[in-house]
Amino acid sequence: MPKAKTQAATANIYAVVGSDEAEVKRVAAELATNLTPPEAGDFGLEIIDGVAENAEQAAARIRSTIEALQTLPFFGSTKVVWLKNANFLGDTQIGRAASVQSALEELSDLIENGLGSDAIFLISATEVDKRRSFYKSLAKRAEMQIFERLDSSRTGWEEEATEIVRSRAQKRRLKFDEDALDLFVLLTGGDTRQIDNELEKIDIFLSSGTGFQPVGKTGVSPVITSAAKMAASQTAEATVPRVTVDLVRDTEATDHVPRKKDGSINAYALGIAAPHAHRFETKQLVEAMQACLEANLQLVTTQLDHELILTEVVVKLLGL
């Protein structure tokens, strides 16, 4: 769901913006498909590539958009003009260029004066300077959807991320038990692109019945990452028996546990690990964490086969 949505004064201008790149691209693509008249065929959608390498190119793309909006569609049908993935609307060197601002003013005037009934304008962008007059004009005239990336340093992000995962899993007819859901949320950190990628891997795995080993966007296997985090959390839990969210008696023993940006302990991982800590000796947990660390380094710094590395570390963990 969008973080914010405004209704348009007119029904033929749409904007999909926000820092959540994956969601912006997905929603904009779906919207372009839905807005394009089926009977118009290939002539019903004109896409202007909004990824510009310099100010001159950005200004040219904006003026191409204006020209496309002012050109009558073929066969008298409605035409959708999509300025796709615009990267010159933010507070960047390209976005601040006088030539770009001048071109955006021309586009803003066109939006303000209203498009003809035979044109639909769609714009998508992941970085937008909301102080600019173009954005204000767009916000006033367009039906706007805003998708902001989830801030995993903010208190309570886990609950929102959990709902995102649960909703997207349900669309794929996937169901997590609560422990698996908590771990999945922790690993993906609320990143919608990562959530979709990992859900797709799970879906493919369950559909094909064949084994696989997903590797996260950082190049580190989620299995290794989760094991390392679990081991670190459980080591802290075993070393400091009386740990609460608000009071930690021995600060040195918790220097290595996960923390938020403000420096406070991230109790989410500890909460997952705590019920299982009593099953292990401290020595076992330390050795497990060391094995995961060594495997992690091999994954990201060597050309060794990932499957071999993972198999070895699993054997080590099972033997502890």
pLDDT on residue 258: 67
For 248-292, what is each residue's pLDDT tens digit? 345 556 666 666 666 777 776 677 777 777 788 888 888 888 888
- Of the two residues 129 and 118, the one the predictor is more confident about is 129
Instruction: Kindly report whether the global pTM for this prediction surpasses the value 0.75.
Output: no
pLDDT at 59 over 90: yes
For 182-236, what is each residue's pLDDT tens digit? 888 888 888 888 899 888 888 887 776 544 444 444 444 454 444 444 444 444 4
- Looking at the structure, do residues 121 and 198 belong to the same domain, yes or no? no
Whether 35 is covered by a domain: the verdict is yes
Whether 97 is covered by a domain: the verdict is yes
Whether 152 is covered by a domain: the verdict is no
- Looking at the structure, do residues 135 and 165 belong to the same domain, yes or no? no
- Looking at the structure, do residues 45 and 179 belong to the same domain, yes or no? no
Q: Which range of residues forms the domain containing residue 41?
A: 4-146
pLDDT on residue 65: 95
> What is the number of domains present in the chain?
2
- Looking at the structure, do residues 206 and 265 belong to the same domain, yes or no? yes
198: nearest Cα among 175, 182, 214: 214
Please report, for the domain that includes residue 75, its CATH number: 3.40.50.300
For 130-141, what is each residue's pLDDT tens digit? 999 999 989 988
- Looking at the structure, do residues 42 and 190 belong to the same domain, yes or no? no
